[in-house]
Structure 1
Amino acid sequence: MTKLEKLLSQYAAYHLDHKNIYTHFVGIPMIVFSIICLTARAGVMVSGFELTLALLLIVLSVIYYLSLDRIFGVIMLVLFSVAYPFAYKIAQWDTVTWLSASVGIFVVGWVFQFVGHYYEKKKPAFVDDLIGLAIGPLFVLAEFVFLLGFRKDIQQRMLVEARKQRAEMDLKTMHTASGQ
């Protein structure tokens, strides 16, 4: 099992209900976009180009995603390249409007997340492992790619491992609830 498959499996163990996955298709992009909006305002000018905290986060994220999988990493780079100019424009709005829009998008994104986890009957993955915050966007991309019929081999290995992990989590919860 590759590192990508291991990380996706760990995340998928908290996301086996399709309603939860579908809410994540909306919630995670909103949260990521809002973070880009919030961090696109902090920057320094270098040779007439503004290097923002958002760009730094994007570069670090893409490097990480590329280290896990070239195809997914390149797709994430394309998605970030499309999103960043819009987020940067929002960051140029007056402070109240920029902050209201960015925080509003963030909050609505998390509402979608928590609605999904209501259906799943599981807490979000990042509660147990903060790497889930970085893997969430990659998981949503992978799930979309799987829906399109691609990379089914990765999906199959991920799901087998995720179901095993989920069964272990459920067993542990049952033991905890019964006081054993």
Structure 2
Amino acid sequence: MKTLIDHLSQYADYHRDPRNIHTHFVGVPMIMFAVVLLLSRPVWWLAGVPLSPALVGAVAAAVFYVRLDLRLGLVMSALLAAMLAATTGMDALATTPWLAWGVGMFAVGWVIQFVGHYYEGRKPAFVDDVMGLLVGPLFVVAEWSFALGLRKEVQHAIEQRSGPVRERVLERAH
């Protein structure tokens, strides 16, 4: 099994431009929320517990994240739980508004992602490895932790493999 550093470094190879990373701070959560919403139906009741494809997927993703790294995995698990809770009321919407919200957020999230990759000058990571779809949200949480001064050892290991995030050079008129 690949390690946390293996996954994040491979993903980071496609994300070294700060503008691309910043678009991911918006686009990835939108996509993730949209997927949870779109998988919130149908709901089956099993021993008094509402079971949906969203819950099954969230539990599987949480197990993956926690196995890679306990701290980041617990943050990801909390975010997934929050998204599941937030979609609970939305799954009761009529089909048209439920689909409009889900598909709309999904589409807008991807547009934001592709703008970021335009700046990057490189295709999204998932094109070469479908695991990028699962690693992307973890990458965003890791980048937030780095911005907060946390997990410097993880940041250093990623930068050893993928290089640092490029600094934007501002053109000055003289």
Give the TM-score, by structure 2 length: 0.91
Residue 149 of structure 2 aligns with an amino acid whose one-letter code is G
Which AA in structure 1 matches 2:50?
E
Matches within 5 A, 1:123-134: 123-134=123-134
Residues 18-57 of structure 1 aligned to structure 2 (within 5 Å): 18-57=18-57
Q: Distance in 2 between matches of 1:88 and 1:109?
A: 21
Instruction: Find the aligned partners of 2:162 and 2:89 in 1 and give their Cα distance.
Output: 39
Shift of 1:25: 0.3
2:158 is aligned to 158
Whole-angstrom distance in 2 between the partners of 1:52 and 1:141? 25
Aligned residues: 163
SS of the aligned residue for 2:97 comes to helix
Residue aligned with 2:16, SS: coil
CA distance in 2, matches of 1:112, 1:90: 23
**1:170 alignment counterpart:** none
1:37 is displaced (CA, Å) by 0.2
TM-score, scaled relative to structure 1: 0.88
Once the two structures are superposed, the pairs formed by residues 101-120 of structure 1 within 5 Å of their partners are: 101-120=101-120
Instruction: Quote the Cα distance in structure 2 between the aligned partners of 1:87 and 1:117.
Output: 29
1:76 counterpart residue number: 76
- Pick the structure with more helix per residue: 1
Contact kept in structure 2, 1:41 and 1:88, CA below 8 Å:
no
Q: CA deviation at 1:48?
A: 2.5
Identity of aligned residues (%): 45
Structure 1: distance between partners of 2:145 and 2:71:
11
Is the Cα–Cα contact under 8 Å of residues 41 and 92 in structure 1 kept in the other structure? no
What corresponds to 1:66 in structure 2?
Answer: 66
Whole-angstrom CA distance in 1 between matches of 2:109 and 2:10 = 22
Corresponding residue SS for 1:45: strand
Contact 1:40 1:53 in 2 (8 A): yes
Structure 1 unpaired stretches of 5+: 165-180
Report how far residue 99 of structure 1 moved: 0.2
Answer whether contact 1:36 1:84 (CA < 8 A) is retained: yes
After the TM superposition, list the runs of 4 or more consecutive aligned residues in structure 1 that deviate by more than 2 angstroms: none
Q: CA deviation at 1:89?
A: 1.5
- What is the RMSD of the two structures over their aligned residues, measured on CA atoms? 1.2
1:33-78 superposed Cα distances (whole Å, 9 cap, x missing partner):
0000000112211122211110000000000001100001111111
Task: Give distance in 2, aligned partners of 1:106 and 1:88.
Answer: 18
Q: 1:17 maps to what in 2?
A: 17
Distance 1:47 1:158 in 2: 44
